[in-house]
Copies of this chain bind each other. A is one copy, B any other.
């Protein structure tokens, strides 16, 4: 079982490292982290991760995975990356993403006609690509499996691993990772957060979200045209 995880500049590293940790607990899972070259990829906060291989040398994915993060804007208009994703998706058993990684899949046309999720702030942008946004932590629609924002990657990966390797092994992985979360606050999603907190977070991100939506509109127009 080969998972190909895309890494890219200005990604949100936990979108990738959360699922990486889960998948690495299954001996049958072979993991490649791929990008254009093998120079370090610097995430949105400066963490530097080295890809294990480049796009051209990537093995065929059984699971294709795309993380999210600010760098996703550029990827939505990067024909080399979109072509890579389309080509890999055509042979993959699962086409997957976490956070705004789903907007990259969508820009490649890979979520058109599918139910999917995304970081809560960007979820409606999936409409632009003919996908159906679903406000759940993990969404499975046929062979598309998507996770919501950042930390949902751990839930996403455990759900997918349970599907592939069975509940028993997934439970063992969860226990080994001591995944019995106890968030200090209850408002980790807008469903549970104080409206005033959500308002503050939305306001702080407004400028960047406008850029993201503009990029999504351009990508959607290109996909349609």
**CB pair B45 A20 closer than 8 Å:** yes
**CB pair A181 B183 closer than 8 Å:** yes
Q: How many whole Å from A145's CB to the nearest CB in chain B? A: 12
Stretch at the interface among A57-65, A70-78, A81-89, A171-179: A171-179
Range of interface residues on A (Cβ < 8 Å): 35 or more
Q: Which of A21, A150, A200 has the most C-beta atoms of chain B within 10 angstroms of its own C-beta?
A: A21
Against B, the Cβ 8 Å flags (1 = close, 0 = not) of A142-157 are 0000001111101100
Q: How many whole Å from A192's CB to the nearest CB in chain B? A: 6
With contacts A172-B200, A191-B180 taken as known, whether A47 is within 8 angstroms of B33 at the C-beta atoms is: yes
Q: How many whole Å from A195's CB to the nearest CB in chain B? A: 11
24 residue pairs A–B, Cβ–Cβ below 8 Å: A13-B20, A14-B21, A24-B45, A33-B47, A40-B40, A49-B49, A148-B178, A149-B176, A152-B178, A154-B181, A155-B183, A158-B183, A167-B185, A170-B184, A170-B185, A171-B193, A171-B194, A174-B185, A175-B187, A175-B190, A175-B198, A180-B189, A180-B192, A181-B188
Chain A residues engaging chain B, CB cutoff 8 angstroms = 12-14, 17-18, 20-21, 24, 31, 33, 40, 44-50, 52, 99, 119-120, 137-138, 148-152, 154-155, 158-159, 162, 167-168, 170-172, 174-185, 187-194, 197-198, 200-201, 204-205
